[in-house]
Amino acid sequence: MSERRWSLRRCLVGAILSAFVGSSVPLAADAQEARRRYEGHRGAVTCLQFAPDERHFLSGGEDGRVYYVDSRSWEIVQEFKGHEKPVRSLRFREDGKEFVSAGDDGVVRIHSLAEQRELGRLELKGKEGCRAVFVPGKTEVVIGTSQGTVHHWDFNQAREIRSWTGHKEGIADLAVSKDGKNVFTVDLDGSAANWLLEDGRVVRELTTLNEPFTKREPLRGVRGEYTITAGPRRSGFLEALGRLAGGNERKDLYPSGAFSENGRQLLLTKVCTVDIQGRWFDPGQPPDPPAGRAVGGSGTPFDVFVLPFSAFADILGSLTRSSGRAPAWRQFQKTLDAPQFLLQDPGTGALGKRFFGSPGPGITALDLVDGGNRMALGCRDGSVWVCTTSTRQVARLSTNPAGEGLAKAGGKDALAVAPDSSAVTAVALNRGGRYAVVGHATGEVRLWAVNTRRLVQPAK
């Protein structure tokens, strides 16, 4: 059958179906018009979120637009307009049929993907920037604002149930427990709390990275011991770095924290002054080669989880490198500014793993999934580090060959070789952390296969 006759037959079948079915049955969005190729945003990407089906994702940007994207075809399935300022958060309902968006315009919008329409719109009186999340199983949302206030709304009735002042700084992230009874919040300074949703009463204030931390451990693989101490930053190195990069305060350079799904885990991060000192027994063997040990937490005698792996781990390895002199006990000491990370259960307050990172890359975006076992750290040099905390395995995702080389070599500041325009401004992992969608200051968005470190979309 010729192509012309086949096209004619399809038209006749379509006309007959239309006559019987009528216009009451809506056509699917991709049947009404050809889908557009997804090309990111005009301006920085501000938030990303994988759908529960793990095939689609949402992206929000400084342009106030939200796109619902098919990660396989890299096509826009639906586009949502309405926010007059940057979109700050995107969260799906558990079934993936609805999502809530919130932005710097002080407006929270609830959208239906199935019905392709807006279900509700809540506008804060103060017009302050905000983030929002659904209360599981209810027509309610919890909103955290840039003024540190928490609001509890019923969007079906368009009424506020209650609100309370929770923080001195703006809310950086928030989550609601799976049973809908508790709200977890973290602000831009890293202060975090667990609240009862029914009355806004604080259940507990969580441990912060403003508190000093000290740990004493034996060295691994050599005789000796060390003490590591971390506390509020003492030097001005990173403040000066921030001014050169265009930021005035730490919170403009580094995110403070992120929750995993349903608030099961909280990841806090903050730049601290870290001091390591101790002693080790030098057996007097010939000097090690200049290259030193392999970088990373397992490549040094220190039981410190180091990420991203580069300068910090290389420094640690050099502290106990054999000098070739007579056997003797030797002292070592090193002080530097570096980001500290802490995992904890916001429901119980139980502390989890604590680790440190290299000072160079400058962390600009966070995500946490798999009950806190996998995290993504977006950096100012355009790279992303995906870390599995249970195994200490790390994958670096980057299209910047220069940055990759420096990370392998260690000891160099990646910020010095990469423009700010390439900075990662948003990152999201799928449920198991196998894929990462990454947004940049340029408006570009990329999809990576984490285990193979392969760029999937946009396809080359």
- Mean pLDDT over 390-410 rounds to 60
Q: Residue 95: inside a domain, yes or no?
A: yes
Q: Percent of the chain at pLDDT above 70?
A: 73
Per-residue confidence (pLDDT) for residue 7, from 0 to 100: 39
pLDDT digit string (tens) for 332-366?
888 888 888 899 999 999 998 888 877 666 788 99
Q: Is the pLDDT of residue 239 over 60?
A: no
Per-residue confidence (pLDDT) for residue 362, from 0 to 100: 79
Q: Residue 188: inside a domain, yes or no?
A: yes
* Length reported for the chain: 460
The pair of three-digit structure tokens given for residue 99, joined into one six-digit string: 């999502």
pLDDT digit string (tens) for 258-314?
999 888 999 999 888 988 888 988 887 665 544 433 333 444 455 555 544 444 555
Closest CA to 263 of 134, 111, 90: 134
pLDDT digit string (tens) for 109-130?
999 999 988 888 898 887 789 9
Helix or strand (DSSP H, E) at 117: strand 117-123
228 contacts 274 by C-beta, under 8 angstroms: yes
Closest CA to 182 of 398, 17, 351, 348: 348
Round to whole Å and give the CA distance between 366 and 38: 23
Per-residue confidence (pLDDT) for residue 8, from 0 to 100: 37
Map tokens 């050169």 to a residue.
244
Per-residue confidence (pLDDT) for residue 186, from 0 to 100: 95
First to last CA, the chain: 37
- Three-state DSSP class for 416? helix
Q: Is the pLDDT of residue 432 over 90?
A: no
Q: HEC states along 172-221?
A: EEEEECCCCCEEEEEECCCCEEEEECCCCCEEEECCCCCCCEEEEEECCC
69 contacts 78 by C-beta, under 8 angstroms: no
Q: Is the pLDDT of residue 367 over 50?
A: yes
Handedness of CA 56, 85, 138, 143 (dihedral sign): positive
List phi, psi (to 5°) of 219.
Answer: -70, 155
- Three-state DSSP class for 240? helix
Q: Is the pLDDT of residue 10 over 60?
A: no
Neighbours of 400 (CB within 10 A): 16
336 contacts 315 by C-beta, under 8 angstroms: yes
Helix or strand (DSSP H, E) at 352: strand 351-356
pLDDT category at 407 given cuts 50, 70, 90 is very low
Round to whole Å and give the CA distance between 89 and 146: 12
CATH number of 88's domain: 2.130.10.10
Q: Residue 318: inside a domain, yes or no?
A: no
Per-residue confidence (pLDDT) for residue 29, from 0 to 100: 35
pLDDT category at 206 given cuts 50, 70, 90 is very high
Q: Is the pLDDT of residue 315 over 80?
A: no
The mean predicted confidence, pLDDT, of the chain is 78
- Mean pLDDT over 90-115 rounds to 94
Q: Is the pLDDT of residue 168 over 50?
A: yes
pLDDT category at 215 given cuts 50, 70, 90 is confident
Round to whole Å and give the CA distance between 328 and 281: 6
DSSP character string of 364-410: EEEEEEGGGTEEEEEETTS-EEEEETTTTEEEEE-S-HHHHHHHHH-
Q: Is the pLDDT of residue 320 over 90?
A: no
- Three-state DSSP class for 4? helix
Integer CA distances (angstroms), 212 to 119, 135, 281, in order: 47, 35, 29
Q: Residue 239: inside a domain, yes or no?
A: no
How many domains is the chain built from? 1
Round to whole Å and give the CA distance between 259 and 270: 15
pLDDT category at 25 given cuts 50, 70, 90 is very low
Q: Which range among 166-170, 176-180, 219-223 has the greatest average pLDDT?
A: 176-180
- Three-state DSSP class for 132? strand
Per-residue confidence (pLDDT) for residue 26, from 0 to 100: 27
Q: Is the pLDDT of residue 408 over 70?
A: no
Quote the domain boundaries for residue 87: 82-205
Q: Residue 42: inside a domain, yes or no?
A: no
Map tokens 């400058």 to a residue.
362
Q: Residue 143: inside a domain, yes or no?
A: yes
Q: Residue 386: inside a domain, yes or no?
A: no
- Mean pLDDT over 227-251 rounds to 58
Peptide bond connecting 136 to the previous residue in cis, omega within 30 degrees of 0 = no
Q: Which amino acid is at 15?
A: A
**More confident: 141 or 217:** 141
Round to whole Å and give the CA distance between 211 and 12: 74
Q: Which amino acid is at 312?
A: F
387 contacts 341 by C-beta, under 8 angstroms: no
Q: Is the pLDDT of residue 383 over 50?
A: yes
Per-residue confidence (pLDDT) for residue 271, from 0 to 100: 87
Per-residue confidence (pLDDT) for residue 420, from 0 to 100: 53
List phi, psi (to 5°) of 443.
Answer: 95, -5
Closest CA to 63 of 48, 78, 83: 83
Q: Is the pLDDT of residue 413 over 60?
A: no
Indicate the pairing of strand 182-187 with strand 171-176. Answer: antiparallel
Q: Is the pLDDT of residue 221 over 90?
A: no
Per-residue confidence (pLDDT) for residue 245, from 0 to 100: 43
The pair of three-digit structure tokens given for residue 443, joined into one six-digit string: 């408006």
Identify the weakest region by mean pLDDT among 186-190, 320-324, 420-424.
320-324
Q: How many CA atoms lie within 13 A of 289 on its CB side?
A: 3
Q: Residue 52: inside a domain, yes or no?
A: no
The C-alpha torsion from 222 through 227 and 228 to 231, rounded to 10°, is -170
